[in-house]
A and B are shown apart, each in its own frame.
Chain A
Amino acid sequence: MATPSASARLPNIDAQREQVLAHPLARGIDSADIVEFLAQLPRGRFPSAAYAERARVPLIQPRGGVPLFEEQLALTRALSEAGADFIPLTIDSCTRHNEYDTAAQLLKRSEEEGKSYLNGYPLVCHGHELTRELYVGLDKPVSLRHGTPDARLLAEVAIASGIVEIEGGGLCYCLPYSEGFPVDRCLLYWQYVDRVCALYSTPGRPVHRESFGPLSATLVPPAIVVAIEIIEALLAAEQGVLSFAVSFGQTGSLIQDVATARVLRRLAREYLDAYGFADVELHMGYHQWMGQFPMQRDRAAALIAGSALLAGMVGADKIIVKTVDEALGVPRREVNCEAVDMVRYVLQTFGTPESVDSRAIALEASLIESETRSIMQAVFALSGDMFWESVHRAFQLGYIDVPFSPHADNANKLTSMRDANRSIRIAEAGHVPISPDDASTERALLQSRPDRLEKTYRRMLSDIALMA
């Protein structure tokens, strides 16, 4: 049995870092220089400062990454001027898979032909010295958005570039993004990233970590999301991370969004405190609808505006924004800026309530909470010398089962569907250790669905295309 502990720091971190930083593309990164560089950055570049200063409405973060430096610079400036509170740096798929040679070739072709052959910014190829130039004079945090199972070198280069919000985690950047990357390795590599973030953190200037709660963004029951978010917060805290954000994706049900936010925030805090991590600053991000988007731009705009309102209702600290181009491909710069402006307009116009409640929300929240506690208890009870080993075991046993994960080792025994209120229900729990009472509550709620005699695949298709 392994519970999280502050004494579970990754051993041999110096030797491991030496190996990672020996890569030619690390371009001789020297930690002492980076410490000095981070100390002279404006404090506004650190997420904890941005969160401390936020008004009642959530902070706004778009997504964005293009291969060419000049284009990325233009995008960075445009998004900042449009009112983004966090500036994104989205990384291309080759870099995400550690294929730096391919990324370099495609970057060269993009430069020669003035056309994008990469779906993001190849940070490792560009290197930290050039990338720092993107953010000269910027007083807002920059967020690394990727989907990389082995992000050790990428995170080192990011921090050296002055990017001190690192998204990801051993489960959330493996199960939705990889078919075959070994999950135990991924957990360990993210322990490395967490440890490096902690090593570069100083009082008032913590390097911030964020988990990616939407996962496969397809019918993931909230309890699975909340459990994974708590696990990743605990894993980061073990390595000494002092500033962390949990997150989740819009579920498609207003009731379930409010309930999920409430349980996620409360339980993440409770578990951190219980294992000796009361000093970890905790925030919560809300991702606008991550599923299939409408092709029609006016409907996409309505969805973006509606979910901006929801971000305020659920009390999110940050909203991660989509664009009206979502169904069609990588968004154009103007469209990305328009989305930031639209979300800002909605948030400012409608404000945020102190809290939202109803009997249905309270019932939903107590069900999510009970299920999450059951999962966490079962994970803690598994064998292992370190917490990450118990987490790996939980994945192998199907306690952690993410619907529609492309990963070959995902159990795929849990099936989920929407009920009459559009809330995501667990139809079959598989090996996920929720109590028999909770399982029967889930099934009873699913019975409210009018089309339950139809074929399963037809119901799933309509559930997935909910917003499209």
Chain B
Amino acid sequence: MPQARTRKPRVVIGVIGDDIHVVGNRIMQLALEESGCAVFNLRTRNRPDHFCQAALEVNADAIFVSSLNGEGEYWCADFRDRLHAMELGHVLLYAGGNLVVGDRPEAEVVKQFKSFGFDRVYHRRPDIGAAIADLFEDLAHGDAQRQRQVA
């Protein structure tokens, strides 16, 4: 059901694993806020549960998971299942940064994360503007957009 968007998009962001690299996270918060989103920043050292619980509590539209040291792959495999288990299947799920340990082709990494149920995947992209543009597009299309990509 298409909805008229009367409030700011609510986005939970954070760095996954024991990664303490915080620079990208700070920039992402600023970029989303400047683009008109309400940001709930979990900062560094998070598990998937932390993101899901926060999404439930703040009624999030989307979760942005980031990883710089490559721990993302290890932690993200059952991310979408956890959201479904909490009846949060509608929440958009994005991943970005340096998502895997070692040097692997971007297409392979994107495929891997899509198989985990991520809607959008940005591996080693220098610009974060694309992710924000994609977010607004996905939100405009409502749940249908997400369902189509997951399927």
Contacts of B44 in A (CB 8 A): 179, 406
- Spot the interface stretch: A31-39, A203-211, A264-272, A454-462: A454-462
Contact indicator A457/B23 (Cβ below 8 Å): no
- Docked Cα-Cα span, A412 to B128, in Å, equals 21
List the A side residues contacting B30 at CB < 8 Å. Answer: 456-457, 460
Number of chain A residues whose Cβ lies closer than 8 Å to a Cβ of chain B: 18
CB of B143 to closest CB in A, whole Å: 28
Scan residues 379-410 of chain A and give those whose CB is less than 8 A from a CB of chain B: 404-406, 408
A44-83 to B contact mask, C-beta < 8 Å, 1/0: 0000000000000000000000000000000000000000
Does chain A have a CB within 8 A of B22? yes
B77 at the interface (CB under 8 A from A): no
Against B, the Cβ 8 Å flags (1 = close, 0 = not) of A442-468 are 000000000000011110110011000
CB contacts (< 8 Å) of A216 on chain B: these are 23
> Does B27 contact A461, Cβ atoms closer than 8 Å?
yes
Q: Distance in Å from the Cβ of B131 to the closest Cβ of chain A?
A: 12
Q: Which of A152-184 contact B (CB under 8 A)?
A: 177-179
Which residues of chain B from 115 to 147 have a CB within 8 Å of any chain A CB?
126-129
Instruction: Give B29-55 as 1s and 0s: 1 = Cβ < 8 Å from A's Cβ atoms.
Output: 011001000000001110000000000
CB-CB under 8 A from B26, the residues of chain A are: 404, 412
Report yes or no: A458 in contact with B20, Cβ–Cβ below 8 A: no
A406 to B31, CA, bound (A): 18
Given A179-B45, A461-B127, A465-B126, check contact A404 B31 (CB 8 Å). Answer: no
One digit per residue, 1 when the CB lies within 8 angstroms of any chain B CB and 0 when it does not, for chain A 414-449 equals 000000000000000000000000000000000000
Residue among B23, B27, B43, B128 making CB contact with A179, cutoff 8 Å: B43
**A144 CA to B43 CA in the complex, in Å?**
29
Whether A464 lies near B43 (C-beta < 8 A) is: no
- Docked pose: A216 CA to B128 CA in angstroms: 21
Q: When the two chains form the complex, which single residue of A405, A458, A460 contacts B129, counting CB atoms closer than 8 Å? A: A458
Contact of A243 with B by CB under 8 A: no
Expressed in whole angstroms, the Cα–Cα distance for A456 and B129 within the complex equals 12
Contact A179 B34 (CB under 8 A): no
From the candidates A178, A406, A412, A457, name the one contacting B27 in the complex (CB within 8 A): A457
| Chain A residue at minimal CB-CB distance from B129 | A458
Q: Which residues of A lie under 8 Å from residue B20 when comparing CB positions?
A: 177-179, 406
A256 at the interface (CB under 8 A from B): no
Cβ of B31: which chain A residues have Cβ within 8 Å of it?
Answer: 455, 457-458
Smallest CB-CB separation from A465: which chain B residue? B126
Closest chain B CB from A158 CB (angstroms): 23
**Cβ contacts under 8 Å, A406 to chain B:** 20, 22, 43-44
B residues near A, CB below 8 A?
20, 22-23, 26-27, 30-31, 34, 43-45, 126-129
* Pairs across A and B, CB under 8 Å, 30 listed: A177-B20, A178-B20, A179-B20, A179-B43, A179-B44, A179-B45, A216-B23, A218-B23, A404-B22, A404-B23, A404-B26, A405-B22, A406-B20, A406-B22, A406-B44, A412-B26, A455-B31, A456-B30, A456-B34, A457-B30, A457-B31, A457-B128, A458-B129, A460-B27, A460-B30, A461-B27, A461-B127, A464-B23, A464-B27, A465-B126
A405-B22, A408-B43, A464-B27 given; name 11 further pairs at CB < 8 Å.
A179-B43, A404-B23, A404-B26, A406-B20, A406-B22, A412-B26, A456-B30, A458-B129, A460-B30, A461-B27, A464-B23
Give 10 closest A-B pairs by Cβ, nearest first. A457-B31, A406-B22, A457-B30, A404-B23, A406-B20, A455-B34, A218-B23, A406-B44, A457-B27, A179-B44
